Structure 1
């Protein structure tokens, strides 16, 4: 699976490293959105079943992974900024589908609330609209060790909480990646943690009712941090929401074992390959009056 790699200039003159996996004869393109502390490399298992069906776009946010060398002194980037970056990449690659994992769901839902014309469907993995008690505890611990730049504790924390059901190999990879980040990346993650802790107060999810495309929420049966029960609360917010619970797995879904990989694959393929429902002709509320609506900006390729 060879990728066409490019650096794209986006919001606030930041640079994003992208990988475009072309599928011959296919016109539909899906863009994947990472969770925090992750890079595009974390989508290896997902790419295996998506790439034979779609053109696939992977990217790293300006502060992470392969984008980091192109942004030596990046500003702290909030979820609203990430939503703008995603909207610009959707336009740049002419993507018509989007799929997010974990905290990548915040930026994805904020972007979708602006009703990008190209997008027909979206998959939201391991995300819920509430901060339950286990997630609040996790965020409080993460805030402490990130503020202290305690690299080893950050790695251990992830593996014993949201990563508790990962196989040993992936736990070792997680720890090695998370415990060797640069200071700025910890500062960025601390900024995200503090944003997430104020999720309810800021009422990010009020924007979900403005999303006009079908959404598929996928959560693991054993995930106590973004539980299937909490995710289903999106049903009262999103006009076109479907829900799948993957058995015998936690937060990291298809990375945890082979059966989960097959279940996620079956759910995603069944949803994305179904004929998308047409978007509503009339909006229930004008986009300009919606909360968290973000300005749209054009992009240009770099190099």
Structure 2
């Protein structure tokens, strides 16, 4: 399964590395949006879950991964700018669906607020509309290490908090990646976290109020950082919101163990391609949030 690789010019300002996994029989295209400090490689399992039922697109932010060498990275990007990049990619690939992981949910909600004309459904995984105490502690410690460009401590922090349910092999890969990023990437993450700590998620949540396509919020049962209960508060902001819980899983969902991977795939197929499966035992399809007031 080899992707078609391209580096795209976005608005004459950014160069974005993309991987397009084409499936001849697929009727829909889905774009995957990374979390912070992640690259296209982190979506390897998710791509396997979605392909070949869908054409799948993965990409690196201009400052990260295989996009970074193609950009000057002279300034830091806001989440709003990341949202604009996603809108451009949705249009370029004529994508009908989008799926984000973790902090990729912020720029995804900002992109959805622009109402890309072809977009039909969205999945936002491991994200919530509030900064609870475990997440605040994680972010504040993250700022401390990121401001010092201390990759060793950043890697340990990720593995000991949001990554604590990952298998040991994945933790080693995760540490190797996170602890060896460029200084600009640490500065970019530090900038984003400080924005979040100062303003919570106000811009993304304000934009979410105009989103009218179905949006699935998928969270792990054991994820205390973006908890199931907190994620369900999105029902106050997104009119057509749906929720699913991946049992016995933490923040990284399909990467943590086989049953979480299987359940994640079933939930995605039930939501994105409901005719493909008859059983929806694990899918908690909650309606009625359309009438909830903020």
TM-score normalised according to structure 1 size: 0.89
Deviation track 1:204-233 (CA, whole Å, cap 9, x = no partner) reads 312111101001110001101000000000
1:170-181, aligned counterparts within 5 Å?
Answer: 170-181=170-181
1:118 and 2:118 matched:
yes
Distance 1:46 1:208 in 2: 25
Deviates more, 1:73-82 or 1:195-204: 195-204
Is the 2:208–2:238 Cα contact (8 Å) retained in structure 1? yes
Structure 2: 5+ residue stretches without partners = 276-294
Is 1:217 matched with 2:211? no
- Measure how far apart 1:25 and its partner are: 2.5
What residue is the counterpart of 2:62 in the other structure? 62
- 1:40-91 deviation per Cα after TM superposition (whole angstroms, max 9, x unaligned): 1100010112111111111000000110110133420110000000000000
Cross-structure match for 1:131: 131
Q: Report SS of the residue matched to 2:84.
A: helix
Q: Provide the residue aligned with 2:162 in structure 1.
A: 162
The answer to whether 1:107 aligns with 2:107 is yes
- Per the alignment, residue 43 of structure 1 pairs with 43
Tell me the residue number matched to 2:271: 271
- Tell me which residue corresponds to 1:146: 146
Task: Describe the SS at the equivalent of 1:98.
Answer: strand
Q: Secondary structure at the match of 1:16?
A: strand
Q: How big is the shift at 1:191?
A: 0.7
Q: Count the aligned residue pairs.
A: 275
Does the aligned pair in 1 maintain the 2:26–2:52 contact within 8 Å? no
Work out whether 1:91 is the aligned partner of 2:95: no
Moved more, 179-188 or 191-200: 191-200
Q: Tell me, yes or no, if the aligned pair for 2:107 and 2:204 is still in contact at 8 Å.
A: no
Secondary structure at the aligned position of 2:44 is classed as helix
CA RMSD of aligned residues (A): 1.2
**Larger RCO: Structure 1 or Structure 2 (Cα < 8 Å, ≥ 6 residues apart)?**
1
State the distance in 2 between where 1:274 and 1:88 align: 27
Deviation at 1:203, TM superposition (A): 4.5
State the alpha-carbon separation in 1 of the partners of residues 204 and 93 from structure 2. 26
Aligned equivalent of 2:290:
none
Q: CA–CA distance in 2 between the matches of 1:17 and 1:52?
A: 21
CA distance in structure 2 between the aligned counterparts of 1:200 and 1:176, rounded to whole angstroms = 30
Matched-pair contact (CA < 8 Å) for 1:11–1:84: no
Query: 5+ unaligned residues in a row in structure 1: which ranges?
Result: 276-303
> Structure 1 residues 199, 226: closer, same or farther in 2, change over 3 A?
farther
